[in-house]
């Protein structure tokens, strides 16, 4: 040991308590209070940045902080009970007795108990104020860990929870204090040089705070997963710090392992399990609140401001060509039916008939920001609702040709539920349920995964007409989009009432055919009926007669992919060939010449329809590929 090493040692403070008259000012308490204040300040900023309301972190803290202090002290006393309730307490400096278990100002807070019981207090506070606990935990997680780093310096002033003896240059000097170690003043006599475990843990905490902030910024985790990551990070560092600590501690089961090491491993495992099981994405704005509180805030117009770190992939998407948009509008106008009885788009929302499908739009003539379509479907409301509420089924009846696939097991059941959908361009979008009434109403707002909601909304409304028939309305509402967001607004304009009606027609086809057949087969039911293919399929196709009649009068909304399917009738694997066999099928099979003639006529009709709508279909396809937000 040389003089350079001695000069590099970290000296302990000469005292940990100062007196202001009769009032003791304890450094340990000051460090704890400073950590709490920093956590409240930074946690509040993070909460507001996610769309929370000012003052809510403090409101919840009024429950969480007292619970945390009690939990931290209780854990410390329970794990070190021998030093409070047996003669072992007399061997410490200063000695301890049972009454000292209540002297929290003398130090001794177990972080495990503080976090556990503090979480209970936070849960109570969140329940009182209508806040979702996982979202709250994610917002304050880095702030809590920083508060722990600050609080560790209280151990430095108390000359406690230090490590084993060392001759490392950064060793911590421990001095003799009189009358005792906690309240006394240093005599200048050095009694030991030890590992500064308080500093190891504080530095690790600060380092992991930076990790949490980076993960939160670039990976945008939520639903309590960031809080779980904080717990895992702290446990990992604490496990290794415990390996060099030398202060008195319990070693349960005679294993020679400190109790905090065992707890660190168990808690790490629990946090990891939660991290892996919790939903992906992040809650922002009103989704951070329980439904009742969210409705109140929405009614008051208080939705918070958007997360400043939010990434908007809309900027990465291809720019919408203004000429294409103009062409789309022009095509829509030229394709509109001359017959007043057909569906049309206007502010008054005309309909085909009281029993047939209808389409409507609302808003100023030059800015139609709500479009909808309505039709009757021959199926009970409960069955239709079950189909809509299962995201994995939605691509089967998507008339926008925008949805590709969704994982199974995401069925939604309440406001606040979130599901993810992959669209045809390969982008994954997160959808948050904002309206829900079983068998009657469901609506969601799409966004990029973990990002803010731009403001548009998809809604399905079901009105049972009788036990077997349901009036279904499908609506696209983009009044909530930022008027200055030109790209999103242009893409929103490309969603027409005709495309919504196409979704309803596809859904009707699903319920109008045999459940074992695929959705692509059902689209051809009306064509099969027109071709008089068989009598056995007439009952199933009859449910779609109204749709076929309406389409004769309505603007042609057949998509290019459907026209191609109709035209491709040369293979035996064609949809018409997969219809259930019947007496009419056998007769059609035996009359090859008549069959070929019918197929040729169907092919000519499909090609004529496809040519008539070539420009409009191309524009619709381009818009569908370009819109990453429809879900």
CA distance 387 to 434: 18
d(CA 526, CA 533): 11
- In which residue are the tokens 């895992």 written? 232
Backbone angles phi, psi at 224, to 5 degrees: 85, 0
Helices (H), 50-132: 56-79, 82-85, 111-129
Q: Decide: helix, strand or coil at residue 152.
A: coil
For helices 225-242 and 197-218, angle between their N-to-C axes, nearest 10 degrees: 160
Q: Is the dihedral of CA 229, 234, 240, 243 positive or negative?
A: negative
Strand partners, 174: 192
The two most distant CA atoms of the chain are separated, in Å, by: 114
Task: Report DSSP state, residue 395.
Answer: G
Residue 364: how many CA atoms within 13 Å on its side-chain side?
Answer: 3
* Residue 435, Ramachandran bin (φ over 0: left; ψ between -120 and 50: alpha; else beta): beta
Q: Is 493 helix (H, G, I), strand (E, B) or coil?
A: helix
Distances (CA, A) of 626 to 156, 400, 486, 619: 59, 12, 14, 10
Tokens coding 314: 């809309």
CA 525 to CA 518: how far, in whole Å? 12
| Residues facing residue 359 across a β-bridge | 373
The residue with tokens 């089967």 is 396
Contact 523, 510 (CB under 8 A): no
Considering only CA atoms, which of 373, 402, 605 is closest in space to residue 505? 373
Q: Residue 484 has which token pair?
A: 């200055």
Please give the C-alpha separations between residue 12 and each of 149, 174, 177, in angstroms, as whole numbers. 18, 6, 11
3-state secondary structure of 362: strand
- On the 0-12 / 13-18 / 19+ scale of CB atoms within 10 A, 262 is middle
Q: Is 567 helix (H, G, I), strand (E, B) or coil?
A: helix
Q: Is 152 annotated as a binding residue?
A: yes
Q: Which residues make Cβ contacts (< 8 Å) with residue 101, sequence separation at least 6?
A: 73, 77, 84, 85
**Which region holds residue 88: left if phi is over 0, alpha if psi is between -120 and 50, else beta?**
alpha
Among residues 400, 386, 506, 396, which one has the least CA distance to residue 446? Answer: 400
- With contact defined as beta carbons under 8 Å apart, do 555 and 498 qualify? yes
Q: Please report where in the chains the tokens 């992040």 appear, as a residue.
A: 282
Pair of tokens at residue 91: 């061997």
**Which residues make up each annotated binding site?**
152
């Amino acid at each position: 040991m040389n003089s350079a090493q001695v000069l590099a040692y970290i000296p302990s403070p000469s005292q940990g308590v100062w007196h202001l008259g009769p009032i003791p000012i304890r450094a340990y308490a000051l460090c704890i209070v400073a950590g709490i204040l920093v956590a409240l300040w930074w946690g509040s900023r993070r909460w507001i940045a996610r769309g929370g309301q000012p003052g809510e972190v403090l409101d919840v803290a009024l429950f969480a902080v007292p619970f945390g202090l009690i939990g931290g002290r209780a854990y410390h006393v329970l794990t070190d009970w021998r030093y409070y309730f047996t003669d072992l307490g007399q061997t410490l400096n200063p000695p301890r007795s049972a009454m000292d278990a209540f002297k929290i100002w003398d130090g001794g807070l177990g972080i495990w108990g503080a976090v556990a019981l503090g979480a209970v207090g936070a849960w109570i506070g969140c329940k009182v104020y209508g806040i979702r606990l996982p979202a709250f935990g994610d917002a304050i997680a880095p702030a809590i860990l920083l508060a722990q780093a600050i609080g560790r310096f209280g151990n430095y002033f108390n000359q406690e929870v230090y490590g084993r003896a060392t001759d490392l240059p950064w060793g911590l000097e421990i001095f003799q204090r009189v009358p005792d170690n906690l309240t006394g003043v240093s005599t200048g006599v050095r009694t030991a040089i030890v590992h500064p475990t308080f500093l190891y843990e504080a530095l690790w905490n600060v380092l992991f705070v930076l990790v949490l902030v980076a993960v939160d910024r670039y990976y945008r985790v939520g639903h309590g997963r960031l809080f779980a990551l904080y717990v895992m990070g702290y446990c990992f560092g604490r496990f290794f710090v415990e390996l060099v600590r030398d202060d008195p501690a319990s070693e349960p089961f005679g294993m020679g392992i400190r109790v905090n090491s065992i707890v660190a491993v168990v808690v790490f495992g629990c946090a990891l399990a939660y991290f892996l099981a919790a939903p992906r994405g992040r809650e922002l704005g009103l989704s951070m609140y329980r439904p009742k509180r969210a409705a109140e805030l929405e009614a008051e117009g208080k939705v918070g401001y958007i997360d400043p770190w939010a990434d908007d992939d809309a900027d990465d998407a291809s720019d919408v060509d203004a000429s294409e948009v103009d062409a789309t509008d022009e095509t829509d106008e030229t394709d509109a039916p001359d017959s007043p009885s057909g569906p049309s788009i206007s502010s008054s929302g005309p309909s085909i008939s009281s029993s047939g499908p209808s389409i409507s739009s609302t808003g100023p003539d030059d800015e139609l920001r709500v479009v909808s379509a309505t039709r009757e479907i021959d199926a009970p409301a409960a069955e239709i609702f079950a189909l809509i509420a299962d995201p994995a089924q939605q691509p089967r009846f998507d008339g926008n040709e925008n949805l590709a696939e969704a994982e199974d097991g995401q069925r939604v059941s309440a406001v606040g539920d979130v599901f993810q959908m992959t669209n045809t361009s390969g982008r994954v979008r997160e959808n948050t349920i904002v309206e829900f009434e079983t068998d009657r109403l469901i609506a969601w707002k799409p966004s990029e995964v973990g990002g803010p909601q731009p403001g548009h909304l998809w809604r399905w409304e079901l009105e049972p007409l009788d036990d077997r028939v349901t009036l279904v309305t499908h609506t696209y509402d983009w009044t909530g989009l930022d008027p200055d967001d030109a790209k999103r607004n242009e893409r929103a304009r490309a969603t027409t009432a005709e495309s919504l009606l196409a979704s309803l027609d596809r859904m009707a086809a699903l319920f109008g055919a045999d459940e074992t057949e695929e959705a692509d087969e059902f689209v051809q039911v009306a064509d099969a009926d027109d071709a008089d293919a068989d009598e056995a399929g007439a009952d199933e196709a009859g449910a779609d007669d109204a749709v076929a009649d309406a389409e004769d009068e309505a603007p042609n909304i057949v998509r290019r992919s459907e026209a191609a399917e109709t035209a491709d009738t040369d293979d035996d694997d064609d949809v018409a060939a997969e219809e259930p066999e019947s007496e009419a099928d056998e007769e059609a099979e035996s009359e090859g010449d008549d069959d070929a003639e019918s197929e040729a006529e169907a092919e000519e009709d499909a090609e004529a329809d496809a040519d008539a709508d070539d420009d409009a279909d191309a524009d619709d396809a381009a818009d569908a590929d370009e819109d990453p937000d429809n879900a």
